[in-house]
């Protein structure tokens, strides 16, 4: 199983197929991913533990366990965990390409391009 550690947390690839990719993502307390968008994929995020604060095209909302965010193709998005408990969510990507090089970062706390 592919596993990667990032400055904000870590992720595990649960399934990688030609039509979709599924990840389990852990965001440490205080961590946040870059504000980003994708050219070739849309995403669906389902919270499984903790609370995720999601920015979607400028709108900010907290998502609790069992709630799902739909991230359309090209939508600017970010998830963060400003709370004390770890955040875990499942990300299902669907589209034509799922490589990490399809991340267009608008803002990043860790100076990644």
What is the DSSP code (8-state) at residue 38? -
Task: Tell me the average pLDDT across 18-30.
Answer: 98
pLDDT at 112 over 90: no
Mean pLDDT across the chain: 97
**CA-to-CA distance for 94 and 70, rounded, in angstroms?**
11
SS3 84: coil
């Amino acid at each position: 199983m592919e596993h990667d550690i990032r400055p904000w947390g870590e992720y595990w690839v649960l399934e990688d197929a030609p039509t979709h990719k599924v990840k389990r993502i852990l965001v440490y307390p205080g961590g946040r991913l870059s504000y980003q968008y994708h050219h070739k994929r849309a995403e669906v995020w389902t919270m499984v533990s903790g609370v995720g604060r999601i920015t979607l095209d400028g709108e900010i909302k907290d998502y609790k366990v069992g709630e799902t965010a739909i991230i359309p193709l090209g939508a600017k998005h970010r998830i963060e965990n400003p709370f004390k408990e770890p955040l875990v969510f499942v990300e299902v990507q669907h589209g034509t390409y799922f490589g990490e090089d399809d991340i267009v970062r608008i803002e990043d706390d860790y100076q990644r391009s």
